[in-house]
């Protein structure tokens, strides 16, 4: 989806509904892109935000923007000057070299750009402004911790990369760097680190990084001579939510996303972690399933759907030509995938809630392939009928949330001709009820909702409201995104807690020890 820049609020109101909280965001000095509900019949080309009921709206925030929009007097698509997975170009020579095949004209000037900064992205959830991307206007403003901590450099995750640097109580978080997929992105990542260390004139006593051994951020950290502190991905999500909410005590962290390296070497992503910045216990998670083709399954939700069907029906799943994802594969492809699933070859095990969204979206025919991250899950959210409150069954047994009855019920609805909107809503409601069931079982009154799945408004609002009505204290992100853009803050919090742990300093505490119910 593309963002739109409008001349003023009058133009914005032609396109979108703008509640008071969103108007305050749009007109604030930070001037982020704000996600707003599109008005029926809004005069916007469909391919600006295909299939999306929302539009990203921003107001001019530089003199040049004001001049252009005053002259044009109509909304324009405003997007960053970069290719996918690459950082923004910061000089005209670089722009002409990297973007000449997609841009017809370049408007240049003689003021050098010191460093790249994307537009921040915000939305209003449950009446409060919250960030989805923290960059221009917000970075590197610090998040304040409850107390002073050692100077720690945190190098974030792989996607939606940010870095963070703690100085006393302050944690300075960088602008959004992007996905570390290209040499250009890695170079930008290294420049941001160098800038931070120079600007704040400090030397870190430790570097915190993700557990994943193949992340470029992890490899960069391992090349350093500094003391290294590996931090499990979902623990960092929980710690980030606690830190920005000023909470030091324990909470149940519902950490749902697409991918995170687990302590057992599998792909986590549908986790319930009970703990704080110092330690956690994995108290529940989604029933595991396989991802045939590994990362390829992220781009092809149909593979996830087939994996779910394989868990239910074995090889008989290959004969379900009545289902869109199965039908989309040629016979030879089905046989290859059957071998992968049957033998566990190139089919890593996952508990990912994000992939479960993908699989259900493919099953009901929304997307078999995607062109950008989260596309299938977004389509499932947008398809959901907001008037439906019935939920599919998703029983909790032995700390495992079993999605099999949910998938079976969805397939039965599909067979009966129930609309995709009803199926999508019942799926979302099932997750909300399952979340409440785990929270009730655990008994911790403080519940943090974190991870990329909580960029889903329907899931976030219904889960928070359901938990609040049941007497739980719900923590949501505000200052940093729930996605991997907040990981670096969590890494600082975890590393600081470990440095404060004398057992850890003496070498008797082993971060990343395994065990389903033990502390980590």
Q: How many CB atoms lie within 10 A of CB 126?
A: 13
Closest CA to 50 of 372, 481, 324: 372
For residue 330, the SS3 value is coil
User: Dihedral, CA atoms, 258, 260, 262, 266, nearest 10 degrees?
Assistant: 50
Rounded Cα distance, 31 and 11, in Å: 16
Residue 24 has pLDDT above 70, yes or no: yes
Contact 434, 356 (CB under 8 A): no
The chain-wide mean pLDDT, for the chain, equals 94
Q: What is the pTM of this model?
A: 0.94
Using alpha carbons only, give the angle 102, 42, 421 rounded to the nearest 5 degrees.
Answer: 95
Write out pLDDT tens, residues 351-383. Answer: 999 999 999 999 999 999 999 889 999 999 999
Residue 337 has pLDDT above 50, yes or no: yes
Residue-range domains of the chain with CATH = 3-132 (3.90.870.10), 142-245+481-505 (3.30.420.360), 289-475 (3.30.420.40)
Average pLDDT rounded to a whole number, residues 471-479? 98
Q: Which residue has the higher pLDDT, 93 or 418?
A: 418
For residue 225, the SS3 value is coil
Query: CB under 8 Å to 5, separation ≥6 — which residues?
Result: 58, 59, 60, 65, 69, 75, 76, 77, 78
pLDDT above 90: percentage of residues in the chain: 88
Average pLDDT rounded to a whole number, residues 477-493? 98
Average pLDDT rounded to a whole number, residues 150-169? 97
Closest CA to 160 of 132, 125, 128: 132
Write out pLDDT tens, residues 174-216. Answer: 999 989 988 989 999 999 999 999 999 999 999 999 999 999 9
Partners of 76 in the β-ladder: 5
Closest CA to 238 of 228, 227, 252, 224: 252
Q: How many CB atoms lie within 10 A of CB 454?
A: 27
CA-to-CA dists, residue 174 to 27, 148, 234, 271, 425, angstroms: 23, 20, 20, 27, 37
Residue 510 has pLDDT above 90, yes or no: no
Work out the burial of residue 502: count CB atoms within 10 Å of its CB; fewer than 13 is exposed, 13-18 middle, 19 or more buried.
exposed
The secondary structure element, H or E, covering residue 145 is strand 142-149
CA-to-CA dists, residue 35 to 81, 336, 507, angstroms: 20, 42, 47
Query: CB under 8 Å to 494, separation ≥6 — which residues?
Result: 208, 229, 231, 235, 236, 239, 277, 278
Query: CB under 8 Å to 488, separation ≥6 — which residues?
Result: 154, 155, 156, 157, 162, 163, 164, 173, 174
């Amino acid at each position: 989806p593309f963002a739109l820049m409008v001349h003023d609020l009058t133009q914005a109101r032609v396109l979108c509904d703008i509640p008071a909280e969103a108007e305050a965001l749009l007109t604030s000095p930070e001037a982020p892109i704000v996600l707003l509900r599109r008005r029926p019949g809004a005069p916007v080309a469909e391919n600006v935000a295909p299939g999306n009921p929302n539009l990203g709206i921003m107001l001019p925030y530089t003199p040049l923007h004001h001049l252009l929009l005053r002259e044009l007097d109509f909304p324009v698509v405003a997007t960053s000057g970069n290719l996918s997975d690459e950082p923004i170009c910061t000089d005209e020579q670089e722009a002409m070299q990297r973007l000449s095949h997609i841009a017809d004209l370049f408007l240049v000037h003689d003021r050098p750009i010191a460093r790249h900064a994307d537009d921040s992205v915000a939305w209003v959830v449950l009446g409060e402004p919250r960030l989805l991307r923290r960059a221009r206007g917000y970075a590197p403003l610090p998040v304040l911790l409850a107390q002073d901590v050692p100077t720690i450099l945190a190098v974030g995750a792989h996607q939606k990369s940010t870095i963070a640097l703690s100085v006393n109580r302050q944690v300075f978080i960088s602008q959004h760097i992007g996905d570390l997929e290209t040499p250009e992105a890695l170079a930008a990542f290294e420049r941001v680190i160098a800038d931070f260390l120079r600007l704040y004139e400090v030397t870190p006593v430790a570097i915190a990084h993700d557990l994943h051994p193949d992340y470029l951020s992890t490899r960069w950290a391992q090349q350093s001579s500094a003391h290294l502190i590996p931090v499990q991905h979902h623990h960092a999500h929980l710690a980030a939510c606690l830190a920005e909410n000023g909470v030091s005590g324990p909470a149940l962290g519902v950490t749902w996303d697409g991918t995170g390296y687990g302590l057992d070497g599998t792909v986590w992503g549908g986790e319930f972690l009970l703990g704080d910045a110092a330690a956690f216990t994995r108290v529940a998670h989604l029933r595991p399933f396989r991802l045939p083709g590994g990362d390829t399954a992220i781009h092809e939700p149909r593979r996830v759907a087939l994996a779910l069907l394989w868990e239910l029906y074995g090889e008989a799943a290959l004969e379900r030509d009545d289902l869109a994802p199965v039908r989309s594969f040629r016979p030879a492809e089905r046989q290859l995938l059957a071998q992968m699933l049957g033998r566990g070859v190139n089919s890593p095990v996952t508990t990912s809630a994000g992939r479960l969204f993908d699989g259900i979206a493919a099953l009901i025919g929304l997307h078999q392939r995607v062109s950008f991250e989260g596309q299938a899950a977004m389509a499932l959210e947008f398809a959901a009928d907001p008037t439906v409150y019935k939920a599919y069954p998703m029983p909790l047994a032995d700390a495992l949330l079993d999605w099999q009855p949910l998938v079976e019920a969805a397939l039965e609805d599909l067979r009966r001709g129930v609309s995709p909107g009803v199926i999508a809503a019942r799926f979302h409601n099932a997750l909300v009820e399952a979340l409440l069931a785990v929270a009730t079982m655990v008994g911790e009154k403080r519940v943090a909702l974190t991870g990329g799945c909580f960029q889903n408004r329907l899931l976030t609002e219904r889960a928070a409201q359901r938990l609040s009505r049941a007497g739980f204290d719900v923590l949501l992100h505000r200052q940093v995104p729930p996605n991997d853009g907040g990981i670096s803050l969590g890494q600082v919090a975890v590393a600081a807690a470990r440095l404060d742990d004398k057992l850890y300093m003496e070498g008797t505490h082993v971060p990343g020890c395994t065990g389903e119910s033990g502390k980590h």
